[in-house]
Chain A
Amino acid sequence: MKTTLSPETTGNSAAVISDSRPAATGPLLEINHLTQKFGGLCAVSDFNTAFQGGELRGLIGPNGAGKTTVFNLVSGFYKQTEGDLILKGKNIAGMKPHQVTGMGIARTFQNIRLWNDMTVLDNIRISHHYQLGYSLWDSLFRTRKYMKSEDRIRKHAMEILESLDLARFAEEVPKNLPYGIQRKVEIARALSIDPDLLLLDEPAAGLNSRDVQDLIKLIRWIHQAFDVTIWMIEHQMTVVMSLCSWIQVLDFGVTIAEGTPEEIQNNPAVIKAYLGDENI
């Protein structure tokens, strides 16, 4: 995977961020006592964390530990039973997912959810919906506002694709692309909203070992080039251990450990959760 980074691409993409977004003062995201119950099942209980901005963190745990539930709560799909989600000083509880996205949280999905019958370019273009800045009437009469906005979006979309070396797939339909490229397109789509926080839900799922190595490089590069905070769920320990500076471990919705990769690797509670008890 060749990743070319030229200073002007990143410079321009930063310039396109809409002004409507609140400026970050204090911590980027604070999660306090987050709890989610589905009926009698406690999917997440008393989850706490805070992002200052600029971190690259991991969230791991066995299957069914509630990792994706945390992401679904942060991105607004579920409304939490208890607790606070504070993004840039603003409580995002009860916001719709598209509003949360508009405030600067982008995410990818465990199973790739691209719009499969649209070209890659259109996939990226539609993700600019929150910063269109024109209405139905503008789109009917093709006003100057519409033209400017569409030009800007197309340019920005092409920049994102070029910076991730995907420009040659711009007119292709995702369903015809190899799985690894689809992953990358999904990450590109998430980046196209100029997020402050990027949630990656198992980005390495279904990739072969060479693709995984490329993905590690890609995520590290994105983290620096786009100046974005990344929070990832991942099962493949090579990815988490080589990328993340701080890891939290969930088991049955409870945070059982957190710390640096080395601490986590040697934590008895984590080993127990993953491998089971020594005494059967």
Chain B
Amino acid sequence: MQRFTVPILLAILFLVLVGMSYYDLLDLYIQSVIMFVGINIILGSSLNIVNGYMGEFACGHAAFMAIGAYISSIINVMLFTQDRIFGAPLLPPEMSLYFFPFVLLIGGFGAAIAGLLVAIPSFKTRGDYLAIITIAANFIVTSTIINMDTIGGSRGFMGMKQITFAMEDVIFLPWMLIWVILSTYLTVWVIYRFVSSTYGKGIIAIHQDEVAAEIMSVNTNKMKLVAFMVSSGLAGLAGGLFAHILGYINPGSFGILKSTEALVIVYLGGMGSLSGSVLAAILFTLLLEGLRFVLPWMSSGLHWFDGIFYWADLIPDGYQVSQVWKWVIIPLILVLLMQFRPEGIMGNKELADLFPRLRRWYSFK
């Protein structure tokens, strides 16, 4: 019985979210927040393979997201839409619904191949030096895209909205929400099964003692290759979804800042904890979106306070606390986290390790 509780709960969650979106009980903003939660779960937990389980410090995760985003967008736009660059659609737009998951997977696959850019240097390089290589990879990818004029260069690439409209024309359902939720489930499933198998545990052995791993017959180079490719492939999947939700991508949105967001999720949740990454991705996205409202409230609240008490001068007249302050508050949270709980919310434990009673209710397979 326990083995069915998690799939049933996930199915219910899926049906409730899709149903509520279908009947307009969730407005588009909330839907988009849910989709970004999903994307951040994919990004965070896939980066956790490398940074948490394997103990490397990869900080160019957005590069693979960009590759996934561009590959899937280009394929979709080329196949199904009338485009300025690629001309008439090669296939009827109605087909896009059936092709969409495959196109997403191709994007992920392309990103996995790009993962070799980091995986191969990782054979000989570790730690800080590999971190520098990952940053370099991030810049290589974004500058390459900037310099490719056929796909828009730094102006960006668009046309993906037509794909989502085409899908909704076939069957009217909140398709992007469906794909995001399914991809999130897929990601968590893949990562869980990977790291709980003896095969995948090889990367944890590399983390804890690479020499011992190699001598105890773990093919460390192959395991690094697999870990980097799975990680970047899943990031590519997230990128594909991201592109189709926004309908517009430009290289600027896959810079170091995006990579940092993924890092924050990993370290907030705890390195080597899948449930930690999921939890942190939810918290982080809600925090980001919450600040969107909190900052104006803060601004008006401070002005109100200054207005009532003539001696108070908490905020200069006419100054509005802008959204830029988000990027003061979030790093500050990171500083506090590293000071007081450096292992993150969950440490390297899973939910069931912290609350053993939960095991009575479910077994995660």
Contact = CB atoms under 8 A, between A and B. Distances in A.
Interface of A: 75, 77, 96-98, 101-102, 106-107, 109, 113-118, 122, 125-132, 134-136, 139-140, 142, 146, 149-150, 153, 189-190, 193
Contact of B215 (A107, A125, A128, A146): A107
A115 B212 CA distance: 8
B226 A136 contact: yes
B339 interface: no
A125 B219 CA distance: 15
Contacts of B215: 75, 77, 97-98, 101, 106-107, 109
Nearest to A142: B193
Contact of A126 (B189, B202, B221): B202
A106 B217 CA distance: 9
Q: Which 7 A-B pairs have the closest CB atoms?
A: A130-B217, A139-B197, A115-B208, A113-B212, A101-B217, A127-B216, A129-B218
Contacts, number: 98
A150 B197 contact: yes
A98 B219 CA distance: 6
A146 B197 contact: yes
Given A97-B215, A109-B212, A193-B217, A118 B199 contact: no
Nearest to B200: A139
Given A98-B214, A115-B209, A139-B199, 17 more contacts: A75-B215, A77-B211, A98-B215, A98-B216, A98-B220, A101-B217, A114-B212, A115-B213, A118-B201, A126-B213, A131-B217, A136-B194, A136-B199, A139-B200, A142-B365, A153-B198, A190-B216
26 contacts: A96-B219, A97-B214, A98-B214, A98-B219, A106-B215, A109-B211, A109-B215, A114-B212, A115-B212, A116-B208, A118-B205, A122-B201, A126-B204, A126-B213, A126-B216, A126-B218, A129-B198, A129-B199, A129-B216, A132-B199, A136-B230, A139-B199, A140-B194, A150-B198, A193-B216, A193-B217
Interface size bucket, B side? 20 to 34
Interface of B: 189-190, 193-194, 197-202, 204-205, 208-209, 211-221, 226, 230, 348, 365
A117 B348 CA distance: 10
